[in-house]
Amino acid sequence: MSHTITEIGHGSFELRLAGELDLATADELRVSLEETVAAVTDKLVVDISELSFADTSGIALWVSWSQRVPRIEIRNAPPMILRAIQAMGLTKRLNPS
Partner 1 sequence: MRWSYGWVWVVIVVGVLVTSGLALVSAHLASSNEQHLLKLRSREVASAYTSVLPDIETPLSGAVALADITGADPAKVTQFADTYVGPPRSQFVSMSVWRVGHLDQGPVVVVGGPPELPEERGGVLPILRVAEHRHSGQSMLTVRGLLGGGERRIAYVFAGSRPGQFLVEAEQALSGSTFTRLPASPAYSNINVAAYIGHRAVASRLLASTVKHLPLPGPRATAVVPFGSNAITVVISARQPLGGPLPEAMPWVIAIVGVLLTIGASVLTFRLIWGGSRAQTLAAENRRLFAEQHAIAQSLQRALLPDELPKIEGLRLAGLYDAGAPGIDVGGDWYDMLRLSPRRLLLVVGDVSGRGIRAATAMASVRSAIQYAAQVDPPEDFLPTLSALRSLREQGQLATVLCVLIDLQDMRMDVTSAGHLPPLLVHDGRAEFLQTEVGLPIGVDTDCTYVSSSFAVPDGACLFGFTDGLIERHGESLDDGLERLRQAAVQASGDLEQMMAQILEHSRGPESVDDTAIAGVQWVTATDR
Interface residue list for partner 1 (CB under 8 A)? 23, 30, 52-53, 55-57, 59-61, 63-64, 66-67, 79-80, 83-84, 86-90, 93
Supply the minimum distance, in Å, between the C-beta of residue 83 and partner 1.
5
DSSP structure string for 46-66:
EEEEEEEEE-HHHHHHHHHHH
Side chain identity at 78, as an amino acid letter? Answer: P
Contact assessment for residue 43 and residue 72, using Cβ atoms and an 8 Å cutoff: yes
Residue among 6 and 49 whose Cβ is closer to partner 1: 49
Task: Provide the minimum distance between the beta carbon of 39 and partner 1 in the complex, in angstroms, as a whole number.
Answer: 18
Closer by beta carbon to partner 1, 8 or else 87? 87
* Whether 20 contacts 55, CB under 8 Å: no
Q: How far is the CB of 23 from partner 1 (least distance, A)?
A: 6
CB nearer partner 1, residue 36 or residue 57? 57
User: Contact at 8 Å (CB) between 16 and 50?
Assistant: yes
